[in-house]
Amino acid sequence: MTRHFIHDQDDSEQHLERLRGVLRMDSYDVILIASIILLSITAMLTLVAGWSQWILSFCTFTLAAIAFMLSLRHVKRRPDHMRALESERITLTANEALPYMGEGLTPENAQVVCEIVLAASDSAVAVAITDSEQVLGFSGRGEDHHTPGRPIVTKATRTALKQNETVILTSKVAIGCSDPRCPLRAAIVVPLEVGSRAIGTLKFYYSREAALTETELVSAEGLARLLSTQLVIRELEHQEALATELELKALQAQINPHFLFNTINTIGSFIRTDAEKARQLLRNFAAFYRRTLEQGDGPITLGLELEFLKQYFELEKARFGDQVDLTLEIEDEAFDLPMPAFMLQPLVENCIEHGMRDDGSPLCIKVIAEAVPDTDTWVVTVADDGIGMKPERLAKVFEKNTSKGMGVALKNVCDRLTGFYGKDCELIIESAWKVGTEISFLIRDPKNIGKE
C-alpha cells in the first residue's frame, strides 16, 4: 500500500530524525547480510584450501551470532508490523460499518454491522450487537439458537452495560448459553458508549479460550470505540434537530397567542352589536385554529399558508371593514414553496397594527411571491402603503421592546425563517415615513429544503 505523509513545518526536524533512524536500521541489515556472505565464502575456502581450523570455527561462530541477531531483530520488529496491520484492519472494518451505525442502533443496521465485522475477523467465530435490553444482531456460529430479538440473558453483558467496562468470558458457562451444541467457548464483551453511558455492546465470540489474545482484546475495544464515536455523532445530530424543532415551536407559541388575543377581541366587539356575525366569526376562527393545531409546525406550502392568511384576514376585515384591503400577486410556481406555518400572518398583522394612518384612509396590503430571473431565488414580500417608519425606528425594529410588540413578531419570524431555511434565507425590511413598508424574505433553492 502506498502512503503519502504530510508533515507540519514544526515537525520537519522530528520527521528527518525518524527518517535517519530508518536509514540506519536498513544500513545495519546491509552490513549483516554482507558479513554473512563474506563469512560464508571464507568458510568454504577454508574447507577447500585446508586452511587453519580456527578460521573455520571463527566463521561458524560468527555466522551463528549473526543469525541470532537477525532472529532477535525480527522478533522485535514483528509486534510493530502486526500492530500496524491490525490497526489498518480495524480502520477498514469501521469505515465499512460506520454508515450503518450512523443510521442508528436498529436491528437491521446491527445485523449488517455484525456480518461486516465477522467477515473481517481472523479469530472470532461469531459477532453480536445488543442494545441495553435485547440482542439486535448476531452473525456466525450458533446463529441457529442465538437469534436477534431475544432479551439479554448473559450476566456478563449486563455487567458490561452497568459498569461500562469490557468483560472477558473464558468458558461456555460464563457465556450462559443453555444449548449443549453451542460451539461458543469464549467471548469479549465491549460497551458501545454515548458520552459516559453504555447504550449497547459489541460481542466477539470464539470457539476456544486460546483465541483470547491481547491483540483480539485491543482490536475489539478499538473497533467499539470507533463505532461508539459514530453513535455519538448521530446523537448530537438528533439533539441539534430536536433543539431546532423545540425552538421553532417555542417561537410559534410566542406568535400564536398574540394572534389569538387579537382575534378574540375582534369577535368580542361584535357580540353586543351583531351576535349572529359574532357566532359566524367564532365558528370560522374555531375551524381555522383547529386546522392550525393539526398542521403543527410544518413544513407547509405557500399555497396553504395563503389559505390561512385569507381566513385570518376575514377576521380582521370584520373588525376594520373598508379600512383594510388585501391583494395577492403570486406566481403559479410559487404556491409549492415550502415554509413553516404562520409566517405571513404576523407580517400582515404588523401592517394592520402599525401601518394604519391617523386620517382613516384605507390601508392597502399586498402579498407578492415572484422568482428572481435566472436564479433559484424566490422573493416573498408583504407590503403596505401605510404610515411607514422613520429611520431611527427602522434601525431598532428587531429589538423586542420596540414598537409595542412589533419587534417581537418580526424577530420571531426572522428566527423561524433561519431555523427552517438556514442561511439560505434572510428578512429584509424597507420603510419610508408616510410612504409605507415592505418586508421581504428570500428563499434560495427551496427544492433542497429538508434533504440535508
The domain of 422 spans: 238-448
Half-sphere CA count of 183, side-chain side, radius 13 A: 10
- C-alpha distances out from residue 320 to 343, 345, 352, Å: 22, 16, 9
Q: Do 275 and 404 belong to one domain?
A: yes
Q: Which residues contact 247 (CB under 8 A, 6 or more apart)?
A: 415, 419
pLDDT band of residue 135 (cuts 50, 70, 90) is very high
Judge whether 217 lies within some domain.
no
What are 296's three cell numbers? Answer: 403543527
Q: Are residues 402 and 434 in the same domain?
A: yes
Using CA atoms, how far apart are residues 313 and 5, in angstroms rounded to an integer?
67
The reply to whether 322 and 421 lie within a common domain is yes
> Are 261 and 117 in the same domain?
no
Q: Are residues 130 and 38 in the same domain?
A: no
What CATH number has the domain bearing residue 175? 3.30.450.40
Beta carbons of 416 and 252 less than 8 angstroms apart: yes
Instruction: Give residue 99's Cα distance to chain centre.
Output: 11
In a domain, 233, yes or no: no
pLDDT at 401 over 60: no
Largest CA distance in the chain: 137
Question: In this structure, are 284 and 309 located in the same domain?
Answer: yes
Q: What is the pLDDT of residue 203?
A: 93
Q: Residue 190: pLDDT above 80?
A: yes
Q: How confident is the model at residue 46 (pLDDT cuts 50, 70, 90)?
A: low
Q: What is the pLDDT of residue 237?
A: 67
Q: What is the pLDDT of residues 270-298, one digit of tens each?
A: 787 888 888 888 887 887 767 666 655 55
pLDDT value at position 6?
Answer: 31
Query: Does residue 61 have a pLDDT over 80?
Result: no
φ, ψ for residue 404, nearest 5 deg: 55, 45
> 88 and 32 share a domain?
yes
Indicate if 49 and 113 belong to the same structural domain.
Answer: no
Clarify whether residues 346 and 424 are in a common domain. Answer: yes
Q: Are 297 and 340 in contact (CB under 8 A)?
A: yes
Do 50 and 119 belong together in one domain? no
How many domains in the chain?
Answer: 3
What is the chain's Cα-based Rg?
38
* Cα gap 319→311, rounded to integer Å: 13
